[in-house]
Amino acid sequence: MRPASLCVHEPHADPEWLHAHITPIAATTTYAYEDPEHLRQLFTGERSGYVYSRWSNPTVVAAEEKLATLEACGLCDDQGQPLRLKARLFGSGMAAISTLMLAFVGPGRKIVTQHNLYGGSHELLLQVLRPLGIDVVMLHLKDLAQVERELQQNAALLYVETPSNPTLECYDLASLAALARSCGVPMAVDNTFATPLLQQPLACGANAVVYSATKFLNGHGNAVTGALIFHPNEELEKRVFMLAKLLGNNSNAFEAWLLLNGLKTLAVRMERHCRNALQVATLLHRHPAVQRVYYPGLPDHPDHPLVRRQMKDFGAMISFELRGGWSAARKFLQRLRLCRMAVSLGTTDTLVQHPASMSHAGVDPDLRRAAGITDGLVRMSVGLEDANDLAEDLTQALNAAE
């Protein structure tokens, strides 16, 4: 070949790269083959392999397989064999949630869920899916009789977020799953706050789990990804693949690679996150500027007994109500020095935000207040710093907010 051709063409792949200690980044958009019959079989599904990275990518698949294995860890199927799950990685948590809902629900059917959802999920349901002819019913999911009535009336999905964002309300997954199963309705759970290390919804009877993998699963705030994990089902797998392929909401190799590396420290991070959060929640509970603390690890949290049964630890998310409302919240946020004011959560450093004016600003104010999101509510994702440093920073900021 002449120089111009040499510049353009790739060298022949060295199969030894597959032995790399750390999963490599397959930074390619498409995949080349010598035999047209091979490529035809890939397109028809007669043969497995890679065609185009919007459809699938080796690095992305490695992350999907790791997530599926992690979610199934310690669980068995009805025959007592280790549980095998299917995972799909997306470009964001919202991409995973929207694909989940479109995979399970069509026009004329109904989604039953809760009032106190993450703001993006709330807006998706009411501003996107409802205008498409999908009914949305938001209930208090602790009223099982009311939930059952709604599930019996043309429901296609029960969607649960526990612990809820941002009020940390927790729901009995086993009871809800049993109720959904009796009504022939699948149940999906947003498990972002807990991660599979603290809570396994599929062990409680859920059919699918969804994550904003941007958060604790990645843990470093450097990649936006989402994941949908479910029991293998040929029809559902085809539906999820079709939606991901045609909506183009897939993840990419680089962010999948960052997720894979973040997952390596998930266990040690969650241990430290939880330990720090309990100390911070105890401090907040005792401070006179704080009217109420929402943290399931505190004995006075109404869901504390449930969480002790359902989760392995209490998580790193805390919300608290300041007595002075928005004025106090503003002063508190302005005085923070170590803790950072930012949306998102699950990073190594402590992030603090004001839901009413940030993450849930797009939710109708009346619905927001009905869900307990007041102007004095502050949400905190407790990081991995020294707990004493966190205590000092929070105390000085709270003192200024009194």
State phi, psi for 172 to the nearest 5 degrees: -75, 100
300 counts as catalytic: no
Q: Which of 110, 171, 172, 190 is catalytic?
A: 190
* Bond before 11 cis per omega within 30 degrees: no
Q: Which helix (H) or strand (E) holds 175?
A: helix 173-182
- 3-state secondary structure string across 219-281: CCCCCCCEEEEECCCHHHHHHHHHHHHHHCCECCHHHHHHHHHHHCCHHHHHHHHHHHHHHHH
Q: Which residue has the tokens 């909401």?
A: 249
135 counts as catalytic: no
Instruction: Kindly state the tokens that stand for 342.
Output: 């930012």
d(CA 135, CA 252): 33
Cβ atoms < 10 Å from Cβ of 35: 8
Instruction: Kindly state the tokens that stand for 37.
Output: 């019959």
In 59-154, DSSP assigns E strands to 86-90, 110-114, 135-139
d(CA 125, CA 213): 20
| 243, 106 contact by CB (below 8 A) | no
Q: Which of 50, 52, 54, 308 is catalytic?
A: 54
Q: Which of 86, 215, 331, 368 is catalytic?
A: 215
Q: Which residue has the tokens 């993998």?
A: 213
118 counts as catalytic: yes
DSSP state string for 279-346: HHHHHHHH-TTEEEEE-TTSTTSTTHHHHHHH-SS--SEEEEEETTHHHHHHHHHHH-SSSEE-S---
Q: Which of 118, 159, 171, 294 is catalytic?
A: 118
238 counts as catalytic: no
> What contacts 134, CB < 8 A, 6 or more positions away?
101, 105, 106, 107, 108, 109, 110, 111
Instruction: Kindly state the tokens that stand for 396.
Output: 């000085």
- What DSSP designation does 392 have? H
Active site residues: 54, 118, 190, 215
